[in-house]
Chain A
Amino acid sequence: MPDQLLFGMEVFLNGLMAGVLYALVALGFVLIYKASGIFNYAQGVMALFAAMTLVGIMNGQVPFAHLINAVFGLHVTNFGWTVPALLAIALTVVVMIGLAWMVQHFVMRHLVGQEPIILFMATIGLAYFLEGVADLMWGSEIKTLDVGLPQGINETIDRVTFDAFGYGFFIDNLDIVATVIAALLVIALVLFSQYTKQGRAMRAVADDHQAALSVGISLDFIWVLVWSVAGFVALVAGIMWGAKSGVQFSLSLIALKALPVLMLGGFTSIPGAIVGGLIIGVGEKMFEFLVGPMVGGATENWFAYVLALLFLVFRPQGLFGEKIIERV
Chain B
Amino acid sequence: MLDAAPTKETLLEVNNIEVIYNHVILVLKGVSLSVPKGGITALLGGNGAGKTTTLKAISNLLHSERGEVTKGSIVYRGDRIQDLEPAELVKRGVIQVMEGRHCFEHLTVEENLLTGAYTRSGAADIAADLEMVYTYFPRLKERRKSQAGYTSGGEQQMVAIGRALMSRPECILLDEPSMGLAPQLVEEIFQIVKDLNEKEGATFLLAEQNTNVALRFAHYGYILESGRVVMDGPAQELRENPDVKEFYLGMSEEGRKSYRDVRSYRRRKRWLS
Contact check, A207 vs B61: say whether CB atoms are below 8 A apart. Answer: no
**Across-interface contacts of B97 in A (CB, < 8 A):** 214
Given contacts A113-B65, A201-B115, A201-B118, contact A216 B102 (CB under 8 A): no
Contact check, B114 vs A214: say whether CB atoms are below 8 A apart. Answer: no
Contact check, B153 vs A327: say whether CB atoms are below 8 A apart. Answer: yes
Closest chain A residue to B67, Cβ basis:
A113
* Least CB distance, A190 to chain B, in whole angstroms: 14
Q: How many residues of A contact B (CB 8 A)?
A: 24
Complex CA gap A207/B86 in Å reads 18
* Least CB distance, B16 to chain A, in whole angstroms: 25
Closest chain B residue to A211, Cβ basis:
B102
**Across-interface contacts of A219 in B (CB, < 8 A):** 64
**Across-interface contacts of B164 in A (CB, < 8 A):** 215
Contact check, B107 vs A210: say whether CB atoms are below 8 A apart. Answer: no
Judge if A209 is at the interface, Cβ distance under 8 Å: yes
Judge if A309 is at the interface, Cβ distance under 8 Å: no
Judge if A204 is at the interface, Cβ distance under 8 Å: yes
Contact check, A197 vs B98: say whether CB atoms are below 8 A apart. Answer: no
Judge if A208 is at the interface, Cβ distance under 8 Å: yes
Given contacts A216-B86, A216-B90, contact A113 B104 (CB under 8 A): no
Judge if B125 is at the interface, Cβ distance under 8 Å: no
Contact check, A216 vs B87: say whether CB atoms are below 8 A apart. Answer: yes
* Least CB distance, B138 to chain A, in whole angstroms: 22
Closest chain A residue to B22, Cβ basis:
A113
Complex CA gap A216/B120 in Å reads 10
Contact check, B95 vs A215: say whether CB atoms are below 8 A apart. Answer: yes
**Across-interface contacts of B149 in A (CB, < 8 A):** 325, 327
Judge if A217 is at the interface, Cβ distance under 8 Å: yes
Judge if A322 is at the interface, Cβ distance under 8 Å: yes
Contact check, A325 vs B147: say whether CB atoms are below 8 A apart. Answer: yes
**Across-interface contacts of A200 in B (CB, < 8 A):** 107, 111, 114-115
**Across-interface contacts of B147 in A (CB, < 8 A):** 325
Contact check, A207 vs B107: say whether CB atoms are below 8 A apart. Answer: yes
* Least CB distance, A104 to chain B, in whole angstroms: 14
Complex CA gap A113/B98 in Å reads 17
Complex CA gap A197/B90 in Å reads 17
Complex CA gap A218/B115 in Å reads 12
**Which residues of B (89-109) have their CB < 8 Å from a CB of A?**
89-91, 95-98, 102-107
Complex CA gap A204/B110 in Å reads 12
Judge if A149 is at the interface, Cβ distance under 8 Å: no
Contact check, A218 vs B167: say whether CB atoms are below 8 A apart. Answer: no
Contact check, A112 vs B64: say whether CB atoms are below 8 A apart. Answer: yes
Judge if B59 is at the interface, Cβ distance under 8 Å: yes
- Which residue of B61, B85, B114 is within 8 Å of A210 (Cβ)? B61
Complex CA gap A257/B174 in Å reads 47
* Least CB distance, B249 to chain A, in whole angstroms: 30
* Least CB distance, A209 to chain B, in whole angstroms: 7
**Across-interface contacts of B86 in A (CB, < 8 A):** 213-214, 216
Contact check, A325 vs B118: say whether CB atoms are below 8 A apart. Answer: no
- Which residue of B61, B89, B104 is within 8 Å of A204 (Cβ)? B104
Closest chain B residue to A221, Cβ basis:
B87
- Which residue of B65, B91, B107 is within 8 Å of A216 (Cβ)? B91
Closest chain B residue to A207, Cβ basis:
B104
Complex CA gap A215/B114 in Å reads 10
Closest chain A residue to B119, Cβ basis:
A216
**Which residues of A (214-266) have their CB < 8 Å from a CB of B?**
214-219
Judge if A203 is at the interface, Cβ distance under 8 Å: yes
**Across-interface contacts of A204 in B (CB, < 8 A):** 104, 107, 112, 115
Contact check, B61 vs A218: say whether CB atoms are below 8 A apart. Answer: no
Complex CA gap A214/B90 in Å reads 8
Contact check, A113 vs B66: say whether CB atoms are below 8 A apart. Answer: yes
**Which residues of A (279-328) have their CB < 8 Å from a CB of B?**
322, 325, 327
**Which residues of B (67-99) have their CB < 8 Å from a CB of A?**
85-87, 89-91, 95-98
| Residue with the highest number of chain A CB atoms closer than 10 Å, among B66, B95, B115 | B115
Judge if A85 is at the interface, Cβ distance under 8 Å: no
Given contacts A203-B104, A207-B106, A218-B87, contact A213 B61 (CB under 8 A): yes
Closest chain B residue to A197, Cβ basis:
B118
**Across-interface contacts of A210 in B (CB, < 8 A):** 61, 64, 98, 102
Judge if B163 is at the interface, Cβ distance under 8 Å: yes
Judge if B116 is at the interface, Cβ distance under 8 Å: yes
**Across-interface contacts of A197 in B (CB, < 8 A):** 114, 118
Complex CA gap A200/B111 in Å reads 7
Judge if A124 is at the interface, Cβ distance under 8 Å: no
Judge if A212 is at the interface, Cβ distance under 8 Å: yes
Complex CA gap A210/B89 in Å reads 15
| Residue with the highest number of chain A CB atoms closer than 10 Å, among B95, B105, B116 | B105
Given contacts A200-B111, A200-B114, contact A218 B105 (CB under 8 A): no
Chain A residues in the interface with B (C-beta under 8 A): 112-113, 197, 200-201, 203-204, 206-219, 322, 325, 327
Chain B residues in the interface with A (C-beta under 8 A): 59, 61, 64-66, 85-87, 89-91, 95-98, 102-107, 111-112, 114-116, 118-119, 147, 149-150, 152-153, 163-164, 167
Cross-chain pairs A/B with CB under 8 angstroms, 17 sampled: A204-B115, A207-B105, A208-B103, A208-B104, A209-B64, A210-B61, A211-B104, A214-B90, A215-B167, A216-B87, A216-B89, A216-B91, A216-B118, A217-B87, A322-B106, A325-B106, A327-B153
> What 10 new A-B contacts, CB under 8 Å, besides A208-B102, A210-B102?
A113-B64, A200-B111, A200-B115, A204-B115, A208-B104, A214-B86, A214-B98, A215-B119, A215-B164, A218-B87
